Amino acid sequence: MKETSVIEWLNYYFERKDIDENQLKPILHFSLLWNLFENTYFTDKEHLSPQKLLELSEISEEKLDDDKLNLTFIFFKQRYVDKNQINDRFSLLQIHRQNIDFCKKILLDDNPTKVEKVKFLFLVIHRFRNNLFHGRKNPRTLNIYEDAFKQINKYLMFFIEETSENNNINRHRFIKTLL
């Protein structure tokens, strides 16, 4: 039996030929990067949560290059702010109510701090993760998130490269307590 790619099968299933694998690659790559990210920074004991992402932001921000951080932050600021107002696209993220005011403040702030930017980005990336893995997404329209996932993937690769070897930041920091 010949193995069929998922994209070929989806096009057959929907009786269309409009699902473009190249446009979906950033979304498909995200799942690999996210798995590496979670495996590197979180453990069974210290599992991923928005609060843990905020803590990770605080202990890692000094290791991050400002220019690379700003590129991703500016992308999302431009995505969610129009004429100094939060746009409707931001509400679709469904940021948890305990973090929504913080995110709005950072988006509208002319000069947020580095740690605020890192926190904001992790909260947004976490929502993209949840919305992708748990939301009701139509595979035929996932391509509208191509640019956002490209930015997220660049940021995750950058973050992992800058911090994964630091035992005070990565998941190995918990091993010390076991020894």
Asked if residues 174 and 46 have their Cβ atoms less than 8 Å apart, the reply is yes
| Residue 139 predicted with pLDDT over 80 | no
Q: What is the pLDDT of residues 85-118, one digit of tens each?
A: 999 999 989 998 999 999 999 999 999 999 999 9
> Which pTM value belongs to this model?
0.87
| Residue 178 predicted with pLDDT over 50 | no
Asked if residues 149 and 27 have their Cβ atoms less than 8 Å apart, the reply is yes
Q: What percent of the chain has pLDDT over 70?
A: 93
Any bridge partners for residue 86, and if so which? 81
Quickly state the pLDDT bin for 15 (edges 50, 70, 90). confident
Specify the pLDDT at position 32.
94
175 compared with 124, residue with greater pLDDT: 124
Asked if residues 103 and 123 have their Cβ atoms less than 8 Å apart, the reply is yes
Average pLDDT value for the chain: 88
50 compared with 18, residue with greater pLDDT: 50
| Residue 177 predicted with pLDDT over 50 | no
Q: What is the pLDDT of residues 29-66, one digit of tens each?
A: 999 999 999 999 987 777 888 999 999 999 999 999 99
Specify the pLDDT at position 31.
93
Provide the residue ranges of all domains of the chain, joining segments of one domain with +.
20-177
Specify the pLDDT at position 137.
78
Specify the pLDDT at position 3.
60
End-to-end CA distance of the chain: 51
Quickly state the pLDDT bin for 72 (edges 50, 70, 90). very high
| Residue 174 predicted with pLDDT over 60 | no
3 state SS of 165:
coil
What is the rounded distance in angstroms from the CA atom of residue 62 to the CA atom of residue 65? 8
What is the rounded distance in angstroms from the CA atom of residue 123 to the CA atom of residue 50? 7
3 state SS of 158:
helix
